[in-house]
Structure formats: C-alpha cells, structure tokens
Amino acid sequence: GQRDFTVNAMAVPLASETGRLASLTVIDPLGGVADLGQKLIKTPALLNLWADPLRLLRAYRFSATLGFAIEAQTEAAIAAHGELLTKAARERVAYELGLIMASPRAGQTISRMADSGLLWVVFPELAAERGLNQPASHHLDVFGHSLEALRCLEKILPAPEAYFSGQGGLFSEIAQGKRVVLLKWAALFHDLGKPKSYRLAGEKITFYNHDQAGAKIFETIAERLHWPRDDRNRVARLIALHMWPFHLSNARLRTGISRKACLRLIKAAGDDLASLFLLAMADSLAGQGVGKPPGMEENLALLLREVHGVDVAHIQPVFANPPLLTGHDLIEIFALKPGPSFKKILDGLLVAQVEGLVSNREQALAWVKMGVYERRAKAGAAGEYV
C-alpha cells in the first residue's frame, strides 16, 4: 500500500540469498532523507491520508515522539478533513493518543491538534471549554487553562522536588510509565465539568461541583475509547478529587487540619495521593490571574508535608496492626446484629485511634459501649445503631 509519510517511505537493498544489507544506498523515491534531515512529517500524497484516516492522528504522534514538525500542506489537509478520523477504530485511536501523552511533548502536541481542529473530533467534550471565562484567579479561559495545566505538569514531572521541597521520594513510583500518562490525561480533563457547572451571578462566576460533573463526563470519553477499567477509575478519581487539596489547604490556613481530615483525604485518594498533589500543583501554576491568592503553590507543598507526616506518625501504625475490635466482638459483647452499622462503628473506631482517643482494646470497648448506649437512647430501640 501507499506509505503514510515520506520518512516512512525509504528502504535499503537486501541480498536475496542472505537477507543481509546489500549496499548502503538508500532507496528514497519520495524525498524522505531530506525530510528526515529537516525533521519534517510530510505525506507524499494527500490521498494516502484518506486511505487510512488514523494517519491524521499518526502525524501528531510522530511529531510528539520524534520532535518533528508537521509540514504545512499536510497539516492543512488534516485540518480540512479531520472528521475522517471518526471512521478509524477506537482502539487504534486510543493507542495513538496514549503514545502522544507518553511523550514529553504532549502539551504542545495537544495544542497543535486544537489549532488544526483534530482535537475536537477526538474529544468534542473539550470544545465546550473554549471561550468560557473564569474568575479573576485565572488568566485563561477554561480550555486554555486545561492545556496550560498539562504543560505545567510536564515541567513539574522531571523534578517534583523543585515544587515540593524535601518530598521528592513521594513521587518516585509515578516518575514514569502508565501512571504518568494517566496523570497527564487527568490534567487535560480536570475541568471537563466547568461548562456544565458554569453560573454567573452579577459579575461573580462559579463552577460548583464541577469536579464531580467532570468525572462523569470523562467516564463517557473513556467508555468511547474502550479504556481499561483500572485506567478509567484512576483518571476519574483524580478529576473528582482535584479540588480537595485546595479546600484542605484553605482549611489549614484558617483553623489547621485534623488527623481525621488527613485520613479522609488519604483514604479517598488511595495510592494516587502523590499524583493528586502533582495535579493540584499544575492546576495552581496554570492559573495566574490578578485575583489569585498569594502563596498557593507553597501552601500546597506544606499541606502535603503535613498530610504525609500525619500518615506516617498516626495513620500507618493504626492500619499496620490487627484491629482492636472485630465484627465478632460487636456480636458477642454488645449483642449487635450484623449490618451496615458494623462498618460505621469499626470505621469510627479507626478514626478514634488515629486521633489518639483510643489506643488499646479496653479503651476500644469503652468507646463502642458509649456509642451504643447513646444511639440506643436516641433510637429508643435495643440493638439499633445506625
């Protein structure tokens, strides 16, 4: 078949007997050597792009992974016929997109895809972000900010310790590989819910609950591209939680934060806690409006330091040891009936341990006993603890 790009349309002669290199002569009917020297992605014939519409996206994949530019006429053809990409198999589209995100040039490549319009073919959901104004803490519209967050993340990833002083070790597990790719997707998609959540009251713009709305919209994108379930869950979780570090940082500055608040965040984020803070840092750096509160990045770094300190000193020791009480104890000692209340009681006990209110079995029994009597008194029915 016809080759997609000139740099892929070269060959060298092989000896028919041995299959080894017959000469150093490059067979180059379409000028691929010259384009290779100029670092140029160029199609030998526009019809070759139409023969396999995935090639419209492959042009950007090669540009991202090789650091090559796309020749002007080739990119103009992509811009004019981008809708053809909808005919390509979704799994193949997802594969090419993954290679783009895995490259160190994802931000600039996604930006060029937006310029040509191909990005809106792949992700029509992002098109609604264009031109959507934001509060004074931002200097870009929603799409510009999302793109800038991706670019900022790519600046942070090589050296997170430059932004989180003394905490570089927390990010070692996500320094490369699939976790980084998923984190980049979360950066691009983190504000997907803003168009749906946009409200204007006088001159005040709000996006209440855009994090939850965005996670749901992302799920439809991931479903369309047939993403693996674990990958979907990770990105959706990061999108859903991306405001949490900011809310907790504000609370820390106002009143300080409790061990319970740290535990809630750690349980919600799971093994993506470090990724969540990288996303928050990129999100913060990507908003540079005149109304932005001072010291936001520094406060995010201080918050992570405090949360991690609480985790090591007070949370991990609790979860590393056997539970002080079990469901069997609740049945035998307190005559409680198995049900949803068991989880509430035992989870509450863990919180009490983390907060330092309970440290041994005797205290745990007293803590549960007090709670049971209080609930029974309120409910007026024996055995009820909801």
What pLDDT does 354 receive?
98
Backbone dihedral angles phi then psi of residue 201, each to the nearest 5 degrees = -120, 105
Model pLDDT, residue 380: 60
The distance from CA 41 to its chain's CA centroid, rounded to whole angstroms, is 30
Out of 21-30, 165-174, 188-197, 247-256, least confident range: 21-30
Of 231 and 371, the one with more pLDDT: 231
- Give residue 385's pLDDT band: very low, low, confident or very high (50, 70, 90): very low
Confidence of residue 31 (pLDDT cuts 50, 70, 90): confident
Q: What is the mean pLDDT of residues 46-55?
A: 87
* Helix 327-334 and helix 361-379, axial crossing angle in degrees, nearest 10: 60
The answer to whether the CB of 37 falls within 8 A of the CB of 66 is no
Work out the average pLDDT over 260-264: 98
Cβ-based neighbours of 231, under 8 Å, separated by 6 or more? 178, 182, 222
Residue 36 pLDDT greater than 80, yes or no: yes
Domains defined for the chain, CATH in brackets: 6-88 (no CATH), 124-318 (1.10.3210), 327-379 (no CATH)
Q: Average the pLDDT over 106-115 and give the result.
A: 98
% of residues, the chain, pLDDT over 90: 80
Predicted confidence (pLDDT) at residue 1 exceeds the cutoff of 60? no
Distances (CA, A) of 39 to 36, 66, 77, 208, 379: 5, 8, 19, 46, 75
Q: Rounded CA gap, 136 and 134, in Å?
A: 7
Confidence band of 384 (pLDDT split at 50, 70, 90): very low
Q: What is the mean pLDDT of the chain?
A: 93
Q: What is the pLDDT of residue 151?
A: 99
Better pLDDT: 81 or 10 = 81
pLDDT given for residue 382 in this prediction:
44
Report whether pLDDT(270) > 80.
yes
Q: What is the pLDDT of residues 151-201, one digit of tens each?
A: 999 999 999 999 999 999 999 888 778 999 999 999 999 999 999 999 999
- Give the chain's end-to-end CA distance (angstroms, integer): 68
pLDDT-derived band of residue 386, with 50, 70 and 90 as boundaries? Answer: very low
